[in-house]
Chains A and B, each alone.
Chain A
């Protein structure tokens, strides 16, 4: 049992300790909520000192331990209610059902979409970081150099938050919903110093840069898989249509290589196409998971 907090910073510190081990995003939510309440409470009692207001907090807002328990309980309940029901086929002992069960998992479709999207976001992030860093370096000798750099870091953090929200929408893994809580109030120079010393500032930039090569890789894998699977499945039907007299391409055979036009090979290519696409869906789901782990490591401050 901690001693009763005497200041807002002390209360927040105890609340953070009481929530140790909980989801970082949940800790941030709780800290923001508590700070909103405590500062409003102090502002509405201008005649009392911060310590006097805090003395009554345990009976109105609740002691840090109580509040921490409320967050943990509510989060557990909400998660249980909101978590998408895992289709039973995914856990089925039958390997065939497990393999094709991926089609009933919405996360696989979303991850596939994410793989295509990362080419665009990867290019945007990369251009943003390279432009921001080089302009910051170039403008460094001028008076606007520092404000420009700070604005650049600020926007990078917003992008990181947005990327986290996107990943949460796709994989269902909880990511932070707000910027990191700045902690006890300090002067602006101290804050700038903290920001530069904060490893997360630099790992965020690294993540944004890394998204270009990763985005290209994901995009190529997704497009290659979709086109090969699509061609293998559609090919036999095109051959059939040609035999039935449909005229593509002025009568020139559209099937290349010619072996695909052999009549008996059709069913095999369709099966192969479906297998390739199913494997791609599994890969997409795996990549979604890897990406979340990467974002957690580089964008979310450990222990926050």
Chain B
């Protein structure tokens, strides 16, 4: 089977899921995180084949920030350009709650059919 079908399906799925995962990561973190740290956390949690490229995390962070779900501040760094640290806002937490509900509902709905089909 051609691998490109799988990759395209994964990319379509990621469109909304990356934002959900980023909100979840930031809501569970007690301190502000910058892009590289977040990317590394995701990579560590996902051993083996990477579900998405770490470079795609950054534009989503910016988009969430532009929508007011995250706030950010810039901190100078010794190892290169200044780092942008992100923190989840109250609105972001509310949205995360909503999205988590939608995600569970979707997952259960999809599972019901897939498990039936595989039996």
Contact in complex: B36, A62 (CB < 8 Å) = no
Q: Known: A62-B56, A70-B55, A70-B56. Is A40-B66 also a contact (CB below 8 A)?
A: no
Chain B positions 42-97 with a Cβ under 8 Å from a chain A Cβ? 43, 50, 53-56, 58-60, 62-63, 66-67, 77, 79-84
Query: Is A82 an interface position by the 8 A CB rule?
Result: yes
Q: How far is the CA of A251 from the CA of B111 in the complex (A)?
A: 84
Q: Is the CB of B55 within 8 A of A66?
A: yes
Query: Interface residues of B: mostly helix, strand, loop or mixed?
Result: helix
Q: Are B79 and A33 in contact (CB under 8 A)?
A: no
Q: In the complex, A59 Cα to B58 Cα: how many Å?
A: 16
Given contacts A62-B54, A66-B53, contact A41 B36 (CB under 8 A): yes
Q: Are B56 and A36 in contact (CB under 8 A)?
A: no
Interface presence of A100 (CB below 8 A): no
Find chain A residues with CB under 8 A from B53 CB: 60-62, 66-67, 70
Q: Which residue of B lies closest to A67 (CB)?
A: B55
* CB atoms of A36 and B81 under 8 A apart: yes
Chain B nearest CB, measured from A18 CB (Å): 11
Instruction: For chain A, give the interface size range.
Output: 20 to 34
- Measured CB to CB, the closest approach of chain A to B28, in angstroms, equals 21
Q: How far is the CA of A37 from the CA of B53 in the complex (A)?
A: 12
Q: Which of chain A's residues have a CB closer than 8 A to the CB of B56?
A: 62, 66-67, 70
Whether a CB of chain B sits under 8 angstroms from the CB of A77 is yes
Q: What is the interface of chain A mostly: helix, strand, loop, or mixed?
A: helix
B39 with A37: CB separation less than 8 A: yes
Q: Bound complex: CA of A61 vs CA of B84, how far in Å?
A: 17
Bound form: Cα–Cα A66–B63 in Å: 18
Whether the pair B81, A35 counts as a contact (CB closer than 8 A) is yes
B: contact size bracket:
20 to 34
Q: Are A33 and B58 in contact (CB under 8 A)?
A: yes
Q: How far is the CA of A59 from the CA of B84 in the complex (A)?
A: 23
> Contacts of B83 on A, CB cut-off 8 Å?
36
Q: Is A152 an interface residue (CB 8 A)?
A: no
B62 touches which one: A29, A39, A41 (CB < 8 A)?
A29
- CB-CB under 8 A for A78 and B67, given A61-B55, A70-B56, A70-B59: yes
**Complex Cα spacing A33 to B43, Å:** 17
State A77–B59 Cα separation when bound (angstroms): 11
* Binary per-residue interface labels of chain A (219-235) against chain B in the complex, 1 for a CB within 8 Å, 0 otherwise: 00000000000000000
Q: Is A96 an interface residue (CB 8 A)?
A: no
Partner of B81, one of A39, A61, A74: A39
Interface string of B13-40 (1 = CB under 8 A from A): 0000000000000000000001110010
Give A residues with C-beta under 8 Å from B: 29-30, 32-43, 59-62, 66-67, 70-71, 73-75, 77-78, 81-82
Inter-chain pairs besides A33-B59, A70-B53, 11 sampled, C-beta below 8 Å: A30-B59, A33-B55, A33-B84, A37-B36, A37-B58, A59-B50, A60-B53, A61-B53, A61-B54, A74-B62, A78-B63
